[in-house]
Chains A and B, each alone.
Chain A
Amino acid sequence: RSFTMLARMGEGCRTVPLAGHVGFDSLPDQLVNKSVSQGFCFNILCVGETGLGKSTLMDTLFNTKFEGEPATHTQPGVQLQSNTYDLQESNVRLKLTIVSTVGFGDQINKEDSYKPIVEFIDAQFEAYLQEELKIRRVLHTYHDSRIHVCLYFIAPTGHSLKSLDLVTMKKLDSKVNIIPIIAKADAISKSELTKFKIKITSELVSNGVQIYQFPTDDESVAEINGTMNAHLPFAVIGSTEELKIGNKMMRARQYPWGTVQVENEAHCDFVKLREMLIRVNMEDLREQTHTRHYELYRRCKLEEMGFKDTDPDSKPFSLQETYEAKRNEFLGELQKKEEEMRQMFVQRVKEKEAELKEAEKELHEKFDRLKKLHQDEKKKLEDKKKSLDDEVNAFKQRKTAAELLQSQGSQAGGSQTLKRDKEKKK
């Protein structure tokens, strides 16, 4: 196998022996150290009906209590809720994103239930593609939001898959790595469980649903992965409660007839799930997402947009037109924005001008009013003055007349007055 490996690598290159220790065997360490300093991303999508224990399972898997409220059954449509967490173990920093469906399976008409999920997955691919197509891009620091694994929660009916499950998984299998799990598996007895698993597997096969296969090409993990593949779908139980069993604290669920231990492999497949999902195949899940699912999305999207690879002899492929188009679009947007801003400015100026004119008009009116008021007042005062003057004149006239009368009267009747006075005295 190493021979074919070298042949593939070399493509005509000779292999030369080394005469001593060179030191490039540190290369994997150099590479890993860089990744460690940058941190890792892992994104899990949980699809399943309300109440199947999705959040509890996540809490159990990652040994922590993620915040969140349990959902109700009254959602009008399927939505997706996503939360990102920073986890650290020794020197490894993980940005874990958990996306859960909310309201899946609750509606009366479930024909469109799968759509929000597919749209969400596509949206993450699209975001990555957009970044990849940018002219100035920073892919090595891009926060990868693409879904690396989809845990599909199957209700523990014990019979078969629901049609909703089949339809949804069929729509998702070309877009994401699916690991089907039987939720709340403590509701099924062991014998029923075996039959249930067989039924599910055969239904998946007969409907052509491609679930994720743990890789068996690396000899160090081929054996364990091969064994685990046969145990799918995993029957899991989640619990955030710890109970004392023997002299140890363990995660468990207590019933009157006994205690179910989460990490007991005889009770459920939780340990298998954790092993496969995190400790053995996390990197492979990320790689498959990038090299298979994303590439498929990208190819389909670009072909949809009308681009084709052409053979190198004829005219080169027109993917370049994407860049042309993007650049023109960008310039066009800038121009449009500029135009809009200019128009907005002109508009505002007009408005302001109108406002000012209005204000000016008002001022004029006010001024006129005041002026009129003032004139009225003035007129009133003048009238008053006139009447006062008239009065004064009249008074003067009367006074003069009275004085005249008095002076005439005093000469004629002055003696009479005296006589009268004398008679009074008598």
Chain B
Amino acid sequence: LPETRTDAAMSELVPEPRPKPAVPMKPVSINSNLLGYIGIDTIIEQMRKKTMKTGFDFNIMVVGQSGLGKSTLVNTLFKSQVSRKASSWNREEKIPKTVEIKAIGHVIEEGGVKMKLTVIDTPGFGDQINNENCWEPIEKYINEQYEKFLKEEVNIARKKRIPDTRVHCCLYFISPTGHSLRPLDLEFMKHLSKVVNIIPVIAKADTMTLEEKSEFKQRVRKELEVNGIEFYPQKEFDEDLEDKTENDKIRQESMPFAVVGSDKEYQVNGKRVLGRKTPWGIIEVENLNHCEFALLRDFVIRTHLQDLKEVTHNIHYETYRAKRLNDNGGLPPGEGLLGTVLPPVPATPCPTAE
């Protein structure tokens, strides 16, 4: 194309391909000064009331080798028996041959807020002798939930509230070896960090001293960076400077959280605390000097819960949807895209949304 023409001239020459829809409104804002109270700020209360009425969904997945304390941690996080511990399984049940996906939902209520919490357990992950591609069933499950949501969204007569089974948060348990990440850890996080929010945690952190912990964390952070693994909160989704500073601190100093879980209570200094009793002392789960459980809890539940859901919905889900609609899922044209048989999950990572 000749470069001598300006764009203006171009648009004159090339006619509009299709008439634009008649939207007469141009959002040209005029700042108006308010003289006196109107009551616009009551919308916050109105909105709050409505959301409390509908309740919330939250779906959290735990991934890690067996014995790392996954169920205990989730139970500690939500202060209830929302996850069934492996040790309570029937002795005759063997370790599953492949990775299984077990989703169990409970309804919990606090301060008038109702939450349907679904804990998705992944027994069998990393437990085989040959663990090649053991993340695939997990990736498949995550994509299946996106698919389910998409199917509902594309319906002509849609439900008022589409049931949300998408995984909002995936806690990945790192074994506290003190050395470095295992190849399995890296492979899993590399694949999955593109489709779901991953929060890496160092499990059973009571086996490390403070120095060991600090060094291990630094090494893990470095390794994740070197391998291009973006865990939640991802840098590219920081909305503004305030977010960025807050999240930078978490990303560069606190994460990955070194945690200890427990559902037993002990008496310490006249108070009943959650802890682990050892011959050499009681490890207080919620004591920040002992472990970072409280940081993890505050991060996931008290400050970033809504954000985890929004990033899942606005970014991961949208990425899945865009790829799905663009590719037709690899099916030949004419065949139903959103058919009953799920087409093979693309092995290549999804392109991240701009």
Given A86-B30, A324-B328, CB of A337 within 8 Å of CB of B14: yes
- Residue among B43, B51, B79 facing the most chain A CB atoms (10 A cut-off): B43
Closest CB-CB distance, A161 to chain B, in whole Å? Answer: 28
Q: Which size class do A's interface residues fall under?
A: 35 or more
CB pair A62–B32 under 8 Å, yes or no, is yes
Please tell me if B53 contacts chain A, counting CB pairs below 8 Å: yes
Residue of A nearest to B323 (CB): A135
For A28, give its contact among B51, B106, B298 (CB under 8 Å): B51
Residues 389-411 (chain A) with a chain B CB within 8 angstroms: none
Residue of B nearest to A140 (CB): B314
Please tell me if B68 contacts chain A, counting CB pairs below 8 Å: no
A61 vs B40: C-alpha distance when bound (angstroms): 11
Please tell me if A9 contacts chain B, counting CB pairs below 8 Å: yes
Closest CB-CB distance, B298 to chain A, in whole Å? Answer: 7
Q: Which size class do B's interface residues fall under?
A: 35 or more
Residue of A nearest to B158 (CB): A295
Please tell me if A22 contacts chain B, counting CB pairs below 8 Å: yes
Given A87-B32, A90-B41, A126-B21, CB of A27 within 8 Å of CB of B113: yes
CB pair B46–A283 under 8 Å, yes or no, is yes
Residue of A nearest to B110 (CB): A25
Please tell me if B107 contacts chain A, counting CB pairs below 8 Å: yes
- List residues of chain B with CB within 8 A of the CB of A97: 25, 27
A29 vs B45: C-alpha distance when bound (angstroms): 10
Residue of A nearest to B329 (CB): A320
For A80, give its contact among B24, B110, B314 (CB under 8 Å): B24
Residue of A nearest to B274 (CB): A20
Given A16-B81, A136-B353, CB of A84 within 8 Å of CB of B28: yes
CB pair B46–A281 under 8 Å, yes or no, is yes
Write the A118-141 contact mask toward B (1 if CB under 8 angstroms, else 0): 011001101100100001110110
CB pair A123–B156 under 8 Å, yes or no, is no
A22 vs B314: C-alpha distance when bound (angstroms): 26
For A84, give its contact among B14, B25, B78, B157 (CB under 8 Å): B25
Among the stretches B176-184, B220-228, B330-338, the one at the interface with A is B330-338
A15 vs B43: C-alpha distance when bound (angstroms): 31
Please tell me if B288 contacts chain A, counting CB pairs below 8 Å: no
- List residues of chain A with CB within 8 A of the CB of B314: 139-140
CB pair A220–B49 under 8 Å, yes or no, is yes
Please tell me if A367 contacts chain B, counting CB pairs below 8 Å: no
CB pair B111–A291 under 8 Å, yes or no, is no
Given A31-B51, A87-B32, A324-B333, CB of A92 within 8 Å of CB of B44: yes
A185 vs B2: C-alpha distance when bound (angstroms): 66
Report the tally of A-B residue pairs with Cβ distances under 8 A. Answer: 277
Please tell me if B283 contacts chain A, counting CB pairs below 8 Å: no
A283 vs B44: C-alpha distance when bound (angstroms): 9
CB pair B30–A136 under 8 Å, yes or no, is no
Residues 1-25 (chain B) with a chain A CB within 8 angstroms: 1-2, 10, 13-15, 17-18, 21-25
Please tell me if B343 contacts chain A, counting CB pairs below 8 Å: no
CB pair B21–A24 under 8 Å, yes or no, is no
Residue of B nearest to A292 (CB): B160
CB pair B32–A309 under 8 Å, yes or no, is no
For A319, give its contact among B18, B154, B305 (CB under 8 Å): B154
Please tell me if B129 contacts chain A, counting CB pairs below 8 Å: no
Given A80-B24, A220-B49, CB of A303 within 8 Å of CB of B34: no
A387 vs B349: C-alpha distance when bound (angstroms): 100
- List residues of chain A with CB within 8 A of the CB of B156: 298-299, 302-303, 307-309, 317, 319
CB pair A21–B110 under 8 Å, yes or no, is yes
- List residues of chain A with CB within 8 A of the CB of B240: 37
Please tell me if A30 contacts chain B, counting CB pairs below 8 Å: yes
- List residues of chain A with CB within 8 A of the CB of B22: 119-120, 123
Please tell me if B82 contacts chain A, counting CB pairs below 8 Å: yes
Please tell me if A166 contacts chain B, counting CB pairs below 8 Å: no
Write the B88-125 contact mask toward A (1 if CB under 8 angstroms, else 0): 00000000000000000111111111111000000000
Residue of B nearest to A336 (CB): B17
A97 vs B28: C-alpha distance when bound (angstroms): 10
A26 vs B77: C-alpha distance when bound (angstroms): 15
Closest CB-CB distance, B49 to chain A, in whole Å? Answer: 7
CB pair A282–B110 under 8 Å, yes or no, is no
CB pair A30–B17 under 8 Å, yes or no, is no
Please tell me if B276 contacts chain A, counting CB pairs below 8 Å: no
Please tell me if B48 contacts chain A, counting CB pairs below 8 Å: yes
Please tell me if A341 contacts chain B, counting CB pairs below 8 Å: yes
Please tell me if A222 contacts chain B, counting CB pairs below 8 Å: no
CB pair A316–B339 under 8 Å, yes or no, is yes
Given A120-B24, A145-B23, A281-B46, CB of A23 within 8 Å of CB of B301: yes
CB pair B34–A22 under 8 Å, yes or no, is no
A119 vs B21: C-alpha distance when bound (angstroms): 11
- List residues of chain B with CB within 8 A of the CB of A324: 328, 333
For B32, give its contact among A19, A86, A137, A337 (CB under 8 Å): A86
A sample of 8 more A-B contacts (CB under 8 A), given A24-B113, A344-B14, is A31-B51, A62-B38, A64-B35, A135-B326, A274-B38, A278-B39, A308-B156, A316-B338
Interchain residue pairs with CB less than 8 A apart (26): A15-B108, A17-B80, A18-B108, A22-B77, A22-B297, A25-B113, A29-B48, A40-B43, A63-B35, A63-B38, A83-B28, A84-B27, A85-B31, A87-B32, A88-B34, A95-B29, A143-B27, A278-B38, A279-B42, A282-B40, A284-B46, A320-B154, A320-B328, A320-B336, A323-B337, A333-B18
For the complex of A and B, the 3 pairs showing the least CB-CB separation, nearest first, are: A25-B111, A30-B306, A283-B46
Which residues of B line the A interface, CB within 8 A? 1-2, 10, 13-15, 17-18, 21-44, 46-53, 55-56, 58, 77-82, 105-116, 154-158, 160, 239-240, 297-298, 301-307, 310, 314, 318, 321-322, 325-326, 328, 333, 336-340, 353
Which residues of A line the B interface, CB within 8 A? 5-6, 9-10, 12-32, 34-37, 40, 61-67, 80, 82-92, 94-95, 97, 99, 119-120, 123-124, 126-127, 130, 135-137, 139-140, 143, 145, 218, 220, 274-275, 278-284, 287, 291, 295, 298-299, 302-303, 307-309, 312-313, 315-317, 319-320, 323-324, 327, 333, 336-337, 340-341, 344-345, 348
